Amino acid sequence: MKIGIVGLGKLGMPVALAISLKGHDVVGYDIRAESMQKDSFPHRELGPNDEDSMEEALRNSDLKFGSIDDVVNHSEIIFVAVQTPHESQFEGITRIPDERKDFDYAWLKDAMGNLAAAVQRGGQDKVVILISTVLPGTLSREILPLLNDHVKLCYNPFFIAMGTTIRDFYYPEFILFGVLDDGAAQKAEEFYKTINNAPFYRTTLENAELIKVSYNTFIGMKIVFANVVMEICHKLPNVDCDKVMDGLRLAGRRLMSGAYLTGGMGDGGGCHPRDNIALSWLAKKLDLSYDWYESVMVAREDQTAWLADLILAHGKDLPKVILGKSFKPETNLTVGSPSILLSNIVREKGSSVEMYDPYVDGEVVPEFCKVPSCFFIGTKHDSFKNFDYPAGSIVLDPHRYIPDKEGVTVVQIGKGQGAKSN
């Protein structure tokens, strides 16, 4: 295919080279003329076969450079790899400042505006694939207003590490692809089949924006957790951080997997909450630099309080009922139940609330479930799918599994307004 790259910095140039080495006809453009040359590359990047540098492959490649109009006129697909920087105080090299800021989109907006104008001049539809990191909602707010009907925008942020960009581009875990135009997505998927065999995950622009930054912060969370364990091991006798982590890595069914990555209620049972609380005590006893365990429990509690606020807001003029007492589906164990925590917080906020669980209370449905109410699904029992909700009721579903029911308002918590299946 004929491919264009706009932005030839530390991400764009290795990607341009990687695509060229797969036999595609690539033309690149950068606002900085000095970036459009193959003699050397200022950042250390491994070569396509893990050579110490990609520079020799770059010098010998068929990669070409031109103006932004050259890129547009040449290309079937145009990748945009333009920086969205943060100011230095937000890069993690200094203590966290009191203020918080979004990324700086000035470079990206300028590039996308210029590219859209060039596409308009060319007069033909072009698939434009943005790979820059942005926060959720940015493309709709900042980028789409700059475009015209000839620009078929897609969002395809990469999961790569600087230094191994080419390898990570060739062998990704999956290809994240935010879609506005199905034809553009199909064209891109055909292109990627020439690069790798990774799963091609289509979703909305907004979902893709959030997946990208969530992926990065998930890695940060894992590192912080490992460093908490390291500090504990340093302060206790006869424990070895590496041996502890070696043990955890063996847990491929629950820990190192997709298990538990589902929005819903907080964790529960006879282990999870109490273990975090006990480790919080240990953190204080050992004078750890930060009590990560307490932060987990505070987050669990604050998220439950937020759900309580939703109950109070939606059920302002209705009786309130929490369905489910057990800490997880299809059991009658209530130890550590987040549903019971929720009921206590609702009462703490000054409202009465009833609870019912067929596994705990029996299958006879109580009378308070037979009048129009604000029902909250606390435990994801399968029986609540076909529960006889009285007409006029509101059902708040944090698990997003209750189907629409005639005469009943079902609110799927975690699906924003206008959320689509993509």
Q: pLDDT confidence of 260, banded at 50, 70, 90?
A: confident
Distance CA 342, CA 106 (A): 44
Query: What is the reported pLDDT for 333?
Result: 93
Q: What are phi and psi of 84, to 5 degrees?
A: -125, 75
Q: How many CB atoms within 10 Å of residue 123?
A: 8
Angle between the 205-235 and 272-285 helix axes, to the nearest 10 degrees? Answer: 50
Q: How many CB atoms within 10 Å of residue 232?
A: 17
422 pLDDT more than 60: no
Q: Which domains does the chain have, with CATH numbers?
A: 2-203 (3.40.50.720), 205-261 (no CATH), 298-412 (3.40.50.720)
Report helix, strand or coil for 267: coil
**CB under 8 Å to 158, separation ≥6 — which residues?**
11, 15, 131, 168, 169, 172
CA angle 191, 194, 199 (to 5 degrees): 80
Placement of tokens 């708040």 in the chain? 396
How does pLDDT run across 53-108, given as a tens digit for each residue? 999 999 999 999 999 999 999 999 999 999 998 888 888 888 888 888 899 999 99
DSSP H or E segment with residue 61: none
Which one-letter DSSP state was computed for residue 399?
Answer: T
- CA–CA distances in Å: residue 226 to residues 206, 248, 319: 31, 10, 45
End-to-end CA distance of the chain: 27
420 pLDDT more than 60: no
252 pLDDT more than 80: yes
How does pLDDT run across 364-393, given as a tens digit for each residue? 999 999 999 999 999 999 999 999 999 999
In contact, 320 and 354? CB cutoff 8 Å: yes
> What percentage of the chain carries pLDDT values higher than 90?
88
How does pLDDT run across 155-191, given as a tens digit for each residue? 999 999 889 999 999 999 999 999 999 999 999 999 9
In contact, 178 and 209? CB cutoff 8 Å: yes
Mean per-residue pLDDT over the chain, rounded: 94
Report helix, strand or coil for 106: helix
Radius of gyration of the chain (CA): 26
399, two tokens = 């698990």
Distance CA 209, CA 192 (A): 20
CA 56 to chain centre: 36
Q: What are phi and psi of 77, to 5 degrees?
A: -130, 135
Distance CA 420, CA 208 (A): 13
Distance CA 228, CA 77 (A): 45
Q: How many CB atoms within 10 Å of residue 382?
A: 9
Distance CA 369, CA 377 (A): 13
207 pLDDT more than 80: yes
Question: In b/e form, how buried is each residue of 186-205, taking b as 16+ CB within 10 angstroms?
Answer: ebbeebeeebeeeebebbbb
Q: How many CB atoms within 10 Å of residue 289?
A: 10
Which one-letter DSSP state was computed for residue 139?
Answer: I
120 pLDDT more than 60: yes
Q: pLDDT confidence of 198, banded at 50, 70, 90?
A: very high
Q: What are phi and psi of 131, to 5 degrees?
A: -120, 5
